[in-house]
Structure 1
Amino acid sequence: MRGGKRLANTRHHLEAAGLSEQAWRERWRAERMFLTADGESGKRFGNETIRVTDTGRLSVKLPAPLAHLANAPHGRYVLDAAVRFQHRGAEWLDRIAANRAVAYRIHHDTVRGRWYVTASWQRAAAPVLPLQAALARGVVGVDMSDDHLAVWQLDGHGNPVAEPQRYFYDLTGTAEHRDAQLRHALTRLLHHARRCGAAAIAIENLDFADGKNREKHGRNKRFRRLLSRFPTAKLRARLVSMAAEQGVTVVAVDPAYTSRWGAQHWQKPMTTPQRKTSRHDAASIAVGRRALGHPIRRRTAPPPHHQSDGAGHRTAQARPDTRRREEPRPHLPGPRTGCAPPGRGAKAGDQDAQHRSGHPAEQESWRQDSLPLSP
């Protein structure tokens, strides 16, 4: 509906909205009265109908029946007020200097009593870097929760460096408030990635579409409400578009067992007297290691010399070129201490059934393609 369905329904509830009929009428007319013009590349300053010069001078090309109202040559009407763009003003100036297309929209805000000019244009698709080139300088692992982003930087070898970061947001309130909270948190995340020198951000490819129904979670209304308000798709799409502006690649990985294995292998080792590592911080390390192609398990030292085979077990992470590294150790039945009886340990080599580096979730990752962004 031209003017907005919500504003039209407000006409029947003026007392609840705190508006008089006259105030509502002014807002209704303002919403339905606007002037817009698409840009065209090659035209002067990128738009022939609504033209804004580099000095902020705004002029409108009048139609033939209104040509007698023109106060400038060639049937144009020049406004007294100057236009200034605070957000991406330098980028707008570069476009009009090259006569590239810029669309404008002029509208009136009755609450503030001001006229506004909105400029928009279509951006070129961001170049897509190869995965190995994007991960050469490490990655910033991100674990998404319902109220914050847990972030930890990892180097190219999968080792966590620096200190973990947390960026909180509030998903209650209006849609505008939630969108502003997400935008602010993602902006801080991108600035942190730029300061670290990382060219990639690893996130989980979460999708709760099949987990919001009652058949799966029964009467757990609180949990279903949590899944419903979790902005997985919106957060991922907004992060991709904002990262393209900063030249940062977004890598989405399989979220299977990242929280569980991260807490199992990284929460305790990364906890110090001065730093308390949470389960979400450990999950961010797991996400980053999976994006780099490393298993989530950390390298462990062999047992003392007098245990097991005398020389000790191999470390938890064998080199990629080691043959048969994912197979079970040879079974030698007998009365040796610590040896399993014959017939036991049949699934010791089943890497899909255990948290081993051969699990399919440890090897698969994909990169989210950049999306075109229109300011």
Structure 2
Amino acid sequence: MPKRGKRKADFQGVHALLVFPFAEDFHLLLDLMRRFSAAVRYAYNRLLEGKPREELKRQESPLCAFFGLNTRYADDAILKAQALLDSARELGEDPRKVVFGGRKLFETLKRGHLSGKPLKEVKREWREKRQGTLYSRGDKTKGGNLNLRLEAEDGALWLRVNLGNGSYAWALVKTSHPNLSALVERVHASLPYNVELSLKEGKVHATFTWEEEPTPLAATKENGVLALDVNSDPYHLALALVSPDGNLRRHLTLSLEEVVDRAEKRGAKELLLWKMAHQVVALALEEGVAIATERLRYLRKSRRGDGSGRAFRRKQHRFAYASLLRKVHSLARKRGVQVVEVNPQDTSTIGMLKYAPQLSLSKDVAAAYVIGRRALGFKEKLPKGYQKLLGDGAFLVQAWDFYRARAEELRTQKRNERDRSRRNRLSRELKKAQGALSLLSSPLGSPGSQDGFTEGRKRPGANAWRVLRVGTFLPLLGREVPRDLSPLKVFLHRGAWEGWRGCLGPPPGGGPKCANVHFG
């Protein structure tokens, strides 16, 4: 059995508002936040120049001498600057063009089109974001946090702020966060916690974070997995319970329409998403299995004028895919349920082509089934019927002719179209048709590979699953994403292209001259 890697610690946090009994303490803290924020900017520029962290945090360095910070504050300022630098590089942005305070606010002020109260509000927000930050890491050897220390006295929680010159400012921590009791326990046990202060609308807010050791696993993939796939149309969660041998034990769907359409406010929507996450984790615990999901990824959001359509954009923007998966992952870790994330590549395509017709499943449950099998280490082989279909030159020629005729038709429509939004829609459809032609023109890779490349000395080729998708869905079934996938059984089991090839005209619902083709 392969050795398991160490589980990641779980981060917990508490958000609170700071209340200052003495106005002088409030102003002293604001001055410290201003100096710390300036130190972060200074450290960022020195890191860009290649200065080492050890040199910057010395007692005689400008971070301490010029900004009036102790060495621990100076080191925390360097860490904040390094995090910003790493983030810019990971996002592919130019680190030299980072704007402290926010580029959007900077551009708004730069335009100079505001005056009066709106201008004052933007300037206030700009100053707060640029000058209103203070951060201090926790330290186990210092009994919690040396610079920003919590003290529990007479049933109240106080924050003692080290001003760096031998004096302190005090603030009352005001919060009703559900993790407050856990934070108080850490204070009494002298366990470390990180503190970050931020200035918003003239008030100081505090965020306390810490690491907790993960809960011992009570449900692992040795017993199987509960795979889930979130879908936007209809808006629901597809679940597939997969046994260790890769077989489908049971499946079900949970509607998410109530979460979006009946939740009037964001808070109510979040509550319903948490309720759904509890249902998923409870089912995994009941079966004693791990939870398998696709690896979180960025989902592109369409915009007005790109030709996607108002109804489609509405479905996209209500889609809480990442939010729901984050909640499931967080809750599973707390309950001791193993979470397995898999590569999302082609899970829907394989599910629709292979398991939806074979097991009479919906396309969404079939995709969840593929996720579960992939989490257990199974690879999807191309059925013999599909191999025979891909080896038939007439099938590939038929599909290629279809997309060539479609591309010519779209080019003509685009030339004659004057509406910008419709032209954008036609451009998107034309790009899809050209991509299909490119797939159909490329030599095939190994049928079982997820990345579409052959092994050994053979040259790279197109992914066989994707070639099947473009060759069957739109030309033969009449839709890019068909609801009824049962006609694929003929190809799946026998590769019976001869039946289609014998027809005089295009197959039902498809063909290059078909007029009732639906894109969506």
**TM-score for the superposition, normalised by structure 2:** 0.40
2:367 pairs with 1:280: no
Structure 1 segment 177-216 matched on structure 2, within 5 A: 187-188=274-275, 190-196=277-283, 197=285, 198-204=288-294
2:127 pairs with 1:40: no
| Structure 2 residue matching 1:202: 3-state secondary structure | strand
C-alpha contact (below 8 Å) 1:106/1:118 kept by paired residues: yes
**1:166/1:234 Cα in 2 relative to 1: closer, same or farther (>3 Å)?**
closer
**1:350/1:128 Cα in 2 relative to 1: closer, same or farther (>3 Å)?**
farther
Q: What number of residue pairs does the alignment pair up?
A: 268
**1:232/1:155 Cα in 2 relative to 1: closer, same or farther (>3 Å)?**
closer
Looking at structure 1, the residues matched to 224 and 183 of structure 2 have their Cα atoms a distance apart, in angstroms, of 33
Residue of 74, 78, 89 corresponding to 2:170: 78
User: What per-residue deviation string (whole Å, max 9, x for no partner) do you get for residues 88-127 of structure 1?
Assistant: 32332333232222121222221xx533111123455x48
**Aligned match of 1:28:** 126
2:183 pairs with 1:92: yes
Give the root-mean-square deviation of aligned CA atoms. Answer: 5.0
**1:17/1:232 Cα in 2 relative to 1: closer, same or farther (>3 Å)?**
farther
**Aligned match of 1:275:** none
| Unaligned residue ranges in structure 1 (runs of 5+) | 68-74, 171-176, 212-219, 269-277, 298-326, 328-346, 363-375
**Aligned match of 1:324:** none
User: What per-residue deviation string (whole Å, max 9, x for no partner) do you get for residues 331-371 of structure 1?
Assistant: xxxxxxxxxxxxxxxx68979989xxxx8579xxxxxxxxx
Looking at structure 2, the residues matched to 56 and 85 of structure 1 have their Cα atoms a distance apart, in angstroms, of 12
| Structure 2 residue matching 1:101: 3-state secondary structure | coil
**Aligned match of 1:51:** 149
**1:162/1:205 Cα in 2 relative to 1: closer, same or farther (>3 Å)?**
closer
C-alpha contact (below 8 Å) 1:40/1:47 kept by paired residues: yes
| Structure 1 residue matching 2:104: 3-state secondary structure | helix
Looking at structure 1, the residues matched to 138 and 295 of structure 2 have their Cα atoms a distance apart, in angstroms, of 37
**Aligned match of 1:244:** 333
Q: CA deviation at 1:41?
A: 1.3
**Aligned match of 1:302:** none
Residue of 148, 151, 167 corresponding to 2:238: 151
Looking at structure 2, the residues matched to 29 and 102 of structure 1 have their Cα atoms a distance apart, in angstroms, of 28
Q: CA deviation at 1:4?
A: 1.9
Q: CA deviation at 1:139?
A: 2.5
Looking at structure 1, the residues matched to 269 and 226 of structure 2 have their Cα atoms a distance apart, in angstroms, of 18
Q: CA deviation at 1:257?
A: 0.6
Looking at structure 2, the residues matched to 288 and 95 of structure 1 have their Cα atoms a distance apart, in angstroms, of 38
C-alpha contact (below 8 Å) 2:281/2:332 kept by paired residues: no
C-alpha contact (below 8 Å) 2:227/2:292 kept by paired residues: yes
Q: CA deviation at 1:78?
A: 2.1
Q: CA deviation at 1:166?
A: 3.6
C-alpha contact (below 8 Å) 1:103/1:119 kept by paired residues: yes
More helix by share: 2
Looking at structure 2, the residues matched to 352 and 134 of structure 1 have their Cα atoms a distance apart, in angstroms, of 39
Looking at structure 2, the residues matched to 78 and 205 of structure 1 have their Cα atoms a distance apart, in angstroms, of 44
**1:154/1:83 Cα in 2 relative to 1: closer, same or farther (>3 Å)?**
same
**Aligned match of 1:4:** 102
| Structure 1 residue matching 2:198: 3-state secondary structure | strand
| Unaligned residue ranges in structure 2 (runs of 5+) | 1-98, 261-265, 301-305, 392-446, 451-520
**1:238/1:109 Cα in 2 relative to 1: closer, same or farther (>3 Å)?**
same
Looking at structure 2, the residues matched to 94 and 192 of structure 1 have their Cα atoms a distance apart, in angstroms, of 29
Q: CA deviation at 1:295?
A: 9.3
Structure 1 segment 309-320 matched on structure 2, within 5 A: none
C-alpha contact (below 8 Å) 1:39/1:102 kept by paired residues: yes
Q: CA deviation at 1:244?
A: 3.0
Structure 1 segment 289-304 matched on structure 2, within 5 A: 289=373, 291-292=375-376
C-alpha contact (below 8 Å) 1:141/1:154 kept by paired residues: yes
**Aligned match of 2:221:** 135
Range moving further from structure 2, 140-149 or 287-296? 287-296
Amino acid at match of 1:40: D
Residue of 171, 194, 205 corresponding to 1:103: 194
Looking at structure 1, the residues matched to 389 and 333 of structure 2 have their Cα atoms a distance apart, in angstroms, of 36
User: What per-residue deviation string (whole Å, max 9, x for no partner) do you get for residues 281-314 of structure 1?
Assistant: 34324433554578999xxxxxxxxxxxxxxxxx
Higher relative contact order (CA 8 A, sep 6+): 1
C-alpha contact (below 8 Å) 2:329/2:339 kept by paired residues: yes
**1:207/1:351 Cα in 2 relative to 1: closer, same or farther (>3 Å)?**
farther
Looking at structure 1, the residues matched to 324 and 112 of structure 2 have their Cα atoms a distance apart, in angstroms, of 36
**1:140/1:166 Cα in 2 relative to 1: closer, same or farther (>3 Å)?**
farther
C-alpha contact (below 8 Å) 1:193/1:199 kept by paired residues: no
**1:348/1:58 Cα in 2 relative to 1: closer, same or farther (>3 Å)?**
closer
Amino acid at match of 2:290: A
Looking at structure 1, the residues matched to 123 and 296 of structure 2 have their Cα atoms a distance apart, in angstroms, of 45
C-alpha contact (below 8 Å) 2:217/2:336 kept by paired residues: no
Amino acid at match of 2:210: W
**TM-score for the superposition, normalised by structure 1:** 0.53
C-alpha contact (below 8 Å) 1:261/1:296 kept by paired residues: no
Q: CA deviation at 1:150?
A: 2.5
